[in-house]
Every structure is written in structure tokens, then in C-alpha cells.
Amino acid sequence: MSTPETLSADQAVARAVALAAAGGRSVLGIAGAPGAGKSTLARRVVTAVTEQLGPGIAVQVPMDGFHLANAALDALGRHDRKGAIDTFDAAGYVALVRRLTGGAGADSADSTDSTDTIWAPDFDRRVDEPVAGSIAVPPETVLVVSEGNYLLDQSTPWRELPGLFTETWACVVDDDVRVDRLVGRHMRHGRDHGSARAWAVEVDGVNAARVAADLHRAAVLVRT
């Protein structure tokens, strides 16, 4: 396996714009630990492509839309570990990525022949729940950007994803910065500082360790 190329966030955005300008449907996967900056980078990519190539050309489709609902997590006894790899509908997410690529591997991702809009779920942090059918991916979209923790994981069915994505990137950042970001995020969504830090270290930290083990499998590392 080749060593990943390392880019700054600005360089990565420029690379994504070039990917979109090449034409055909591309699906970009951005992996990384919780707090690594995946969503921020994905938004930057979509904004840059929109500014340069027009609206609807790039769409962000987060893996977080495949969180299991809180009621399901309660039933499974996993609500206190929300964000762990088994708290997502992995098969549903892989099926969506396959639809977005036209059912083909990365080498023929531009062969999608769908004339229908594909609807994807989003995740609403205000209520901490996935929301079905929230994101429209119309046929004219040429760059779909999907970010999530486990896009490089080697367990089934996650291991299928690198073969579906046109490119898979990984966000990397110093751990202290990443944890500080998570603490701030959890506090903005209602936790006090103590419980926010405990979740960032004890729950998000376990997930981050699992993600870190596979980041070398990315084609590109992006310093965020």
C-alpha cells in the first residue's frame, strides 16, 4: 500500500474542485476521528465547488445520517456509547454510497445512469437524531462529499467503501486540539464542561482510537 499524500486543507479543497470540474459523478469519502474536522472540510469543499461551478454541482451527504435513532439505541442498551461503530446502520450507508456511484466501483463511478434524485438522511444535532429524506442529490450533481468516522474500517460491511469512493481522504489533527473541539461541541449541545470532557475522552476517545488504526489506508491525509 502506498504512503498517503499529505495536503493542507486549502490544497485539499483545490483538489476537490478539480475533481468536480473533470465531469462525471465522483463520490469523495472523508474519514477521521471525532473532532478531526471532517464536516468542516466537507462544507468547505461544497462551498468552493458551488462558488466556482454553480449550485447543485456538489452535495454533502454525512454518514451521521445513519445513526440509529435514540429509541433504537435505548432498546439495544447502547445509548451511552452513541457514535460507536455498532450504533450506525452500516449496511444502509454502504447501500446509499453504492446508489450514489451508480452501483459501480470507484473506477466507473462516473457511469451512474440514474435520472432520479436520490434522497439521503441527515443528522440534526439540535435533537440528536437522524432525519430521513433530508438531502437531495439530483442527477446533475457531479461531486458528492460524504464524511464519517468509519469509512476506512476493515470490518464488514464498512470495508466495501474504499472500493466505491472515487477517493478516500482522512483528516488528521493533534489530539489535544481534537478533544478541545469535542468539548466545545458537546457543551454547545447542552452538556456541562465536566460531562462534555468525559464524553470526549471516554466515549469519543475509544472511537478515535479505532479510527486512527486505519487512517493510513487513505489516499490523502488532510491536516485540519
Sheet of strand 167-172: strand arrangement: 5-8, 220-223, 167-172, 26-31, 143-148, 58-60
Please identify which residue in the block is written with the cell numbers 491525509: 221
- Grid look-up 481522504 returns 169
User: Residue 98: its pLDDT value, please?
Assistant: 97
pTM of the model: 0.91
Q: What is the DSSP letter of 68?
A: P
Please report the DSSP string for 72-131 in residue order.
HHHHHT-GGGTTSGGGB-HHHHHHHHHHHTTTS-GGGGGG----SPEEEEEEETTTTEEE
> How many angstroms separate the Cα of 84 from the Cα of each of 68, 88, 146, 149, 205?
11, 8, 18, 9, 10
Per-residue tens of pLDDT for the chain, all 224 residues: 678 999 999 999 999 999 999 989 999 999 999 999 999 999 999 999 999 999 999 999 999 999 999 999 999 999 999 999 999 999 999 999 999 998 644 344 444 445 789 999 999 988 989 999 999 999 999 999 999 999 999 999 999 999 999 999 999 999 999 999 999 999 998 999 999 999 999 999 999 999 999 999 999 999 99
Rounded (5°) CA angle 148-154-93: 40
Query: 466545545: which residue's cell?
Result: 184
Note the pLDDT of residue 106.
39
70 vs 123: CA distance, rounded Å: 12
- The pLDDT of residue 2 is 77
Please give the pLDDT value at position 126.
86
